[in-house]
Amino acid sequence: MKDFSELSERELLALAISLEEEDARIYGDFAEGLVADFPASAAVFRGMSREEDGHRHRLLELYKERFGDHVPLINRHVVRGFIRRRPVWLSRPLALETVRKQAEAMEAETRRFYERAAGRATDASIRQLLGDLAAEERRHEHVAGQLEAKHVPAKVQAREGEDERRLFVLQIVQPGLAGLMDGSVSTLAPLFAAAFATHDSFDTFLVGLAASVGAGISMGFAEALSDDGSLTGRGRPWLRGLVCGGMTALGGLGHTLPYLIPDFRVATGIAIAVVAVELAVISWIRHRFMDTPLLSSAFQVVVGGVLVFLTGILIGSA
């Protein structure tokens, strides 16, 4: 890698051209990734992509005038000091807030580059252009604000915010809630049946562990294979499967772990308290994200949980 201070003026211009080309393509990817769910914000990033293209053309014109047609291959990856960017633009679906934060970081980094490059340039025309571009990058946030005001007025922002919340519910909350409910409720019967049949904490722990992990694997595959998300908009199947499977296992492990305590009665008392907390959390999530009335949600979840709990105790005590 080369240090920034080692770059010649020719290399500085070549690097600037590469940066502008990369940023334009990233903004284009942002626009393409957002257009299906957030068309107004996609228009903002298309405008920003055109801005970066304009900068690249000006840099190319000056480069050809000073150094000829051949532009050496030099980019951010061979120069020390640049921030390593996470390729969020490759993810689908794109999160609107993540994209906006990434764009702000890109603009700030590019502005700092132009300020440092202008300070090192000795050629008057190169120094002027780099200084002008640094000033334009400082104004770029204002340009982005103008584009956003044009394409994303307050009503559209509110609608896009609601769309993003809906996607979050579809892709994360729903599979996670389904897993948490299954793990918290379905494992109650085998766990407490084993507890009251054996009165042995460690044996009960092994049954609960097997039930929780097995349920997590089963629910994870079931969710991942249920649909590919292309029609329902529920996102990547493997992500939903991981969320659902992980929350299923977590829901079962919550009231299984107390049975690592050797004293059976103490372990059972703590496990029952954990179950109450789990059911309360499930009720709150349904109320918060599914718009289910809190009392109605609590009643439905508690009744189901108590029935499964009593089933386990009755079978284990038989």
Say whether both 130 and 190 belong to one domain: no
Say whether both 173 and 118 belong to one domain: no
Q: Which of 145, 175, 153, 307 is nearest to 246 (CA)?
A: 175
pTM: 0.50
Residues 6 or more apart whose CB falls under 8 angstroms from that of 160 comprise 37, 38, 40, 41, 96, 152
Q: With 90 as the cut, is the pLDDT of residue 60 above it?
A: yes
Instruction: Pick the last residue of a domain from 90, 125, 152.
Output: 152
- Beta carbons of 80 and 2 less than 8 angstroms apart: yes
Q: With 60 as the cut, is the pLDDT of residue 143 above it?
A: no
Neighbour-count burial for 92-127, b at 16+ CB within 10 Å, e otherwise: ebbbbeebbebbeebbebbbebbbbbbeebeeeebb
**38: Cα separation from own chain's centroid:** 16
Say whether both 20 and 137 belong to one domain: yes
Q: How far apart are the first and last CA of the chain?
A: 73
Quick: pLDDT tens for 205-244.
Answer: 998 899 888 888 888 888 777 655 544 455 677 888 888 8
Task: Give residue 17's domain range.
Answer: 2-152
How far is the C-alpha of 307 from the C-alpha of 60, rounded, in Å?
73
Alpha helices by DSSP H, 68-173: 96-120, 124-151, 154-168
Say whether both 176 and 270 belong to one domain: yes
Say whether both 175 and 249 belong to one domain: yes
Say whether both 213 and 148 belong to one domain: no
Instruction: Pick the last residue of a domain from 118, 152, 186.
Output: 152
